[in-house]
């Protein structure tokens, strides 16, 4: 995977097919035969012998009882179909999570307890598990004449991805028994008063300084760093080991190898494009009718066809109101 110094040359065609409104085509290009919406998995928590306690019940519970229950919690992936069955709602192409789990107007849709006592946590926005992305990529690879040539675009706002002056958007906390010579907050505050006009220092990111200061693929409301990449590589979950944006610094602090999957991926022949918009709890694939049928028929992928011009606005779900 190699950095593309002129990303608009590689991806400018996407901008030409996007709209300035807030339909799905604000982020997903027009001009393909068909589209599919891939639902990101949620999570469900259950207890073997009782309903998951509400927050009010939890805070009133003795510490010993909390500890006992924590040891019994079972957390598992959950599909949108699982949630719909639990809440008595319907999965459809324009379903919205907060309506699917019957969230009251003033309620928190991120965590909802179903009538059967299980607790559902909302899907991730802008990303899906590596294994799911690989399953989708296996279909994508079969539907292009250039499986070994293409482009991967990474949203520039991912924490720590790029260097910046002052802060790169993340940090690591180290627990130690040593006592600081002076409180950290006091040292920082004093420094601001002692030199209020000092220039902010450059903080390196995961990617090199050259990439951090380089050109972006400029799309409506989202800028991306672009890499030349074989679409076929993403059909193997171990692609993260070769990704230039692999977070090696985090690994040095004990975290497992990780890399965010591309926000946008397309082959050199432009046969399809897959878009994971950072504020969507689902991913859109645009391509041929055959590709969309294959993706929607794969039992390992929860997906439905979606019409061109559809809205994925949070209030677009007319069925589960």
Query: Using 50, 70 and 90 to split pLDDT, how confident is the model at 165?
Result: confident
Q: Is residue 181 part of a domain?
A: no
Domain identity same for 48 and 141:
no
Quick one: what percent of the chain has pLDDT higher than 90?
A: 61
pLDDT above 70 (res 292): yes
The predicted model gives 114-122 an average pLDDT of 91
**pLDDT top residue among 169 and 132:** 132
Query: Using 50, 70 and 90 to split pLDDT, how confident is the model at 271?
Result: very high
Domain identity same for 78 and 25:
no
Domain identity same for 55 and 157:
no
pLDDT above 80 (res 189): no
Domain identity same for 56 and 153:
no
Please give the Cα distance from 93 to 292 (Å, whole number).
13
78-87 confidence digits (pLDDT tens): 999 999 999 9
Q: Is residue 7 part of a domain?
A: yes
pLDDT above 80 (res 96): yes
Take residue 194 and report the two structure tokens written for it: 């002692």
For residue 77, what are the domain limits?
A: 42-121
Q: Taking the CB of residue 152, how many other CB atoms lie within 10 A of it?
A: 26
The predicted model gives 44-58 an average pLDDT of 76
Domain identity same for 58 and 109:
yes
pLDDT above 60 (res 173): no
pLDDT above 90 (res 73): no
pLDDT above 60 (res 32): yes
Residue matched to tokens 């004990």: 254
Q: What is the pLDDT of residue 47?
A: 74
Query: Using 50, 70 and 90 to split pLDDT, how confident is the model at 254?
Result: confident
201-212 confidence digits (pLDDT tens): 878 888 888 998
Mean pLDDT of the chain: 87
Take residue 251 and report the two structure tokens written for it: 């690994």
Domain identity same for 22 and 75:
no
Quick one: what percent of the chain has pLDDT higher than 70?
A: 88
Q: Of 98, 121, 144, at which residue does a domain stop?
A: 121
Q: Of 121, 154, 177, at which residue does a domain stop?
A: 121
Q: What is the pLDDT of residue 159?
A: 78
Q: What is the pLDDT of residue 70?
A: 76
Domain identity same for 104 and 225:
no
Name the pairing type of β-strands 282-287 and 74-78.
unpaired
pLDDT above 80 (res 43): yes
Three-state SS at 113? strand
Domain identity same for 75 and 115:
yes
The predicted model gives 108-124 an average pLDDT of 91
Domain identity same for 289 and 217:
yes
Question: For residues 209-248, b (16+ Cβ closer than 10 Å) or e, as one string?
Answer: eebbebebbebeebebbbbebbbbbbbeeebbeebbbbbe
Please give the Cα distance from 117 to 52 (Å, whole number).
6
224-235 confidence digits (pLDDT tens): 999 999 999 999
The predicted model gives 262-268 an average pLDDT of 97
Q: Of 64, 91, 121, at which residue does a domain stop?
A: 121
Q: Is residue 6 part of a domain?
A: yes
Q: Is residue 114 part of a domain?
A: yes
Quick one: which of 301, 276, 279 has its CA closest to 153? 276
Domain identity same for 93 and 135:
no
Query: Using 50, 70 and 90 to split pLDDT, how confident is the model at 196?
Result: low
What's the Rg (C-alpha) of the chain? 22
Please give the Cα distance from 260 to 127 (Å, whole number).
7
Q: Is residue 241 part of a domain?
A: yes
Query: Using 50, 70 and 90 to split pLDDT, how confident is the model at 294?
Result: very high
Q: Is residue 316 part of a domain?
A: no
Please give the Cα distance from 259 to 264 (Å, whole number).
14
Counting the structural domains of the chain, the total is 2
Q: Is residue 15 part of a domain?
A: yes
Domain identity same for 148 and 277:
yes
Domain identity same for 68 and 96:
yes
Q: What is the pLDDT of residue 56?
A: 78
Q: Is residue 320 part of a domain?
A: no
Q: How many CA atoms lie within 13 A of 74 on its CB side?
A: 9
- Sorted by sequence, the CB contacts under 8 Å of residue 289 that are 6+ apart come out as 33, 34
For residue 124, give the DSSP letter.
P
Q: What is the pLDDT of residue 83?
A: 97
């Amino acid at each position: 995977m190699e950095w593309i110094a002129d990303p608009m040359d590689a991806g400018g065609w996407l901008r030409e097919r996007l709209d300035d409104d807030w339909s799905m085509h604000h982020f997903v290009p027009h001009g393909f035969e068909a589209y599919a919406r891939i639902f990101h998995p949620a999570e469900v928590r259950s207890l073997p012998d009782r309903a998951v306690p509400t927050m009010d019940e939890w805070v009133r519970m003795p510490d010993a009882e909390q500890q006992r229950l924590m040891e019994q919690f079972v957390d598992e992936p959950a599909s949108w179909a699982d949630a719909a069955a639990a809440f008595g709602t319907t999965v459809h192409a324009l379903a919205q999570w907060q309506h699917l789990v019957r969230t009251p107007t003033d309620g928190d849709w991120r965590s909802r307890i179903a009538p059967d006592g299980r607790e559902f946590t909302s899907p991730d926005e802008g990303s899906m598990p590596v294994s799911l992305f690989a399953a989708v990529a296996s279909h994508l690879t079969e539907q292009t004449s250039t499986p070994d040539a293409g482009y991967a675009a990474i949203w520039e706002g991912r924490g720590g991805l790029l260097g910046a002056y002052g802060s790169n958007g993340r940090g690591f906390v180290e627990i130690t028994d040593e006592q600081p010579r002076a409180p950290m907050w006091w040292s920082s505050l004093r420094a601001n008063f002692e030199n209020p006009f000092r220039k902010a220092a450059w903080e390196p990111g995961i990617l090199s300084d050259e990439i951090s200061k380089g050109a972006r693929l400029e799309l409506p409301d989202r800028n991306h760093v672009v890499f030349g990449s074989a679409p076929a590589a993403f059909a193997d979950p171990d692609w993260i080991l070769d990704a230039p944006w692999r977070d090696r610094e985090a690994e040095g602090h004990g975290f497992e190898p990780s890399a965010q999957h591309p926000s946008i991926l397309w082959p050199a022949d432009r046969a399809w494009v897959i878009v994971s918009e950072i504020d969507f709890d689902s991913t859109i694939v645009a391509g041929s009718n055959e590709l969309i049928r294959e993706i929607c028929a794969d039992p390992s992928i929860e997906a439905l066809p979606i019409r061109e011009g559809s809205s994925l606005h949070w209030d677009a779900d007319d069925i589960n109101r």
